[in-house]
Structure 1
Amino acid sequence: MNLVRAELLKIRTTSTWWWLAIGAFVSIVLAFAFNAWVASTVLGGDADTVGLSGEQSTPAAQAANIYTSGQYLGLMFVMLIGILMVTNEFFHQTATTTFLATPRRTSVIIGKLVAASLLGFLFWLATTVIDLVAGAAFLTITDHGTQLGEWPVQRALLFNLLAYAIWTILGVGIGTLITNQLGAVITAAVLYLIGTQVVGLLFLLLSSLLDTQAVVKWQVIWPAVASQVMISEGQSPLTPAWWVGALVLAGYALVSGVAGVLITRRRDIS
């Protein structure tokens, strides 16, 4: 716990998390406005306009989407926090001091993983409170009720929490793999923002070549897609079940955590 508190102190006493929090807030505002427009269109009877299936057009499905607004960029921001928790040690040349103070490197990385998960929880809590207040008001005004008693909505909120926790763990894993701070941040951001679009395009092209839409479902192997899938309610021909996304993301978290520990234990720290 001393290691966890130390990691939280390192983050809390820098301005980095403030900038990331501001970015997360802006992303929530923009995403909520878009999701509210989609919900208004779908629940108004024009689901075909936005290409949603019947299962995705229910009030519960739209409420789940609204209450998780801002997840896409929010997950990137918490991933960056996880990366900075590791790369800051090398950027500010404190890694040697850290490992001299705590020779058991496994304990250090586990401390970072736990601290990262706690930060992910705090980001989820803050964003979810904003979404719940604004979303409940919007749904009540539009005469659809808050939908908070529906299991699909509750599941989306819980799995959104899991996504935030896992992406901070993934960030720590990336930081242990690429210790150069600028290189790690740029690589992770590009893979997240541009890589996701490229993966989607590649699977669409592959489905066209093989003449089957079933192939498109396999893009869930990409973690950013898996995050979106596991909080979605209702399926389209191009979307796998929510539990598939949850299993994929959990697998990434396990591999990332183990890899982070093994790499750090073997790395030469000078």
Structure 2
Amino acid sequence: MNLIRSEFLKLRTTSAWWLFTIGVAVLWALAFAANTFGTYVTLHPEKFAGPEGPQGDQVEAVANVDFTSIASNLYTSGQFFGLLFAMLLGILLITSEFQHQTLTTTFLTTPRRSSVVAAKLAVSAVGGVFFWFITTLLSVPGGAIFLSSEGQSAHLGDTEVLKAVGLNLLAFCLWGIFGLGFGVLIRSQIGATVTAAVLYVIGTFAVSIIFELLAAWQGDWIRKFDVIVPSIASAVMVSGTQLPDHPPQWVGAAILIGYAVVAGTIGTLILRRRDIS
């Protein structure tokens, strides 16, 4: 507990946590606005159709809309960029020690390196929980108000909605752990943060495009394999209902847990053996 408190002290005495919090809040607002607008277009196609009015398939889609899935999507708004910040926070927890050359002092004070890494992993996970709390605290009231304006209940008693929110919490925790492992592999703070951000944002869209091209060539069945990408596994894991052409939620959860376990284990083993003098 002393190690965990010391890691929290290191985090609180820098500006990273509140800058990240502002970033999460701003990007959540953009994501929530996009989700609500997209949902509104889906529910009111007549307002966005041409002079001939909505087509038959659009009317049928509105009649068969799944509000449980909509509520799950609204209540997990901001996940994509929130997970990015959770990962970056985990990266900073370890790379800042390399940058400011304080890791030697840390290990001299606590020779059991595994305990130090365990404390950092715990704080990384808690940092992810904090970002989840911010996004959920904003998403649930906002989503409930939007659903109420559409004549719907908040659906907060639905099992699928609660499961989506709970699995979203798990995703934030795991991405914090994943970030710490990534930071161990690339010791440069700038190098690690830039590389992680580029791989996360650009890599996710690039892989999605690649699988879309493969699906057009080989068939829709191949889309289910894009779940091997961590960010897509997160989306599959928190989907209120199974996404089209994708495996069930538990597959995404298993893959993401696997990445976090591997990243945490590799990070621990490297730090236990690495010469940091």
TM-score range, shorter chain: over 0.9
Match in the other structure for 1:248: 255
| Counterpart in the other structure of 1:225 | 232
Whether 1:166 aligns to 2:163 is no
Aligned residue in 1 for 2:26: 26
Q: Is the 8 A contact 1:223 1:252 kept in 2?
A: yes
The residue identity in structure 2 corresponding to 1:68 is: T
Equivalent position of 2:202 in the other structure: 194
Cα-to-partner distance string for 1:114-155 (whole Å, 9 max, x where unaligned): 111111111111210111111111111211110101111101
Corresponding pairs, count: 266
The answer to whether residue 223 in structure 2 is matched with residue 208 in structure 1 is no
Structure 2 residue runs without a partner (length 5+):
46-53
**After alignment, is 199-208 or 156-165 more displaced?**
199-208
**TM alignment of 1:1-270, pairs within 5 A:** 1-44=1-44, 57-209=65-217, 211-270=218-277
Measure, in 1, the Cα distance between the counterparts of 2:215 and 2:75: 32
Quick one: structure 1 residues 236 and 115, their matched pair in 2 at CA, closer, same or farther if it must change by over 3 Å? closer
Query: What whole-Å deviation, never above 9, does each CA across 1:24-74 have from its counterpart, x for those lacking one?
Result: 00111111111111222333468977xx8998x311100000001100000
Given residue 21 of structure 1, which amino acid in structure 2 is its aligned partner?
Answer: T
Paired with 2:238 and 2:6, the residues of 1 have a C-alpha distance of 33
Change (3 A) 1:146 1:257: same
For 2:221, the aligned partner's letter is A
- Do the aligned residues in 2 keep the contact of 1:121 with 1:164 (CA within 8 Å)? yes
Question: How far, CA to CA, are the matches of 2:40 and 2:136 in structure 1?
Answer: 20
CA distance in 2, matches of 1:172, 1:235: 30
Query: 1:214–1:237: 8 Å Cα contact kept in structure 2?
Result: no
Alpha-carbon contact 2:11-2:17 (below 8 Å) kept: yes
C-alpha separation in 2, matches of 1:259 and 1:168: 15
Counterpart of 1:149, as a letter, is G
**In structure 1, what is the Cα distance between the partners aligned to 2:212 and 2:150?**
36
Q: Give the counterpart letter for 1:7 in structure 2.
A: E
5+ long unaligned stretches in structure 1: none
Q: Report the Cα distance in structure 2 between the residues aligned to 1:236 and 1:181, rounded to whole angstroms.
A: 36
Q: Is the 8 A contact 1:235 1:241 kept in 2?
A: yes
1:207 offset after TM fit, Å? Answer: 2.6
Identity of paired residues, percent? 48
Tell me, in whole angstroms, the C-alpha distance in 1 between the residues paired with 2:201 and 2:85. Answer: 12
- Aligned partners of 2:95, 2:232: CA distance in 1, in Å? 26
Any conservation in 1 of the 2:113–2:272 contact (CA below 8 Å)?
yes
Question: Which runs of structure 1 show a deviation greater than 6 angstroms over 4 or more consecutive aligned residues?
Answer: 45-49, 52-55
- Provide the TM-score with structure 1 as the length reference: 0.94
- Describe the shift of the 1:115–1:125 C-alpha distance in structure 2 as closer, same or farther (beyond 3 A): same
Q: Secondary structure at the residue paired with 1:217?
A: helix
Q: For residue 208 of structure 1, report the CA deviation from its aligned partner.
A: 3.1
Amino acid at match of 2:12: R
In structure 2, what is the Cα distance between the partners aligned to 1:39 and 1:14?
39
Equivalent position amino acid for 1:109 in 2:
V
Structure 2: how far apart are the matches of 1:268 and 1:116?
23
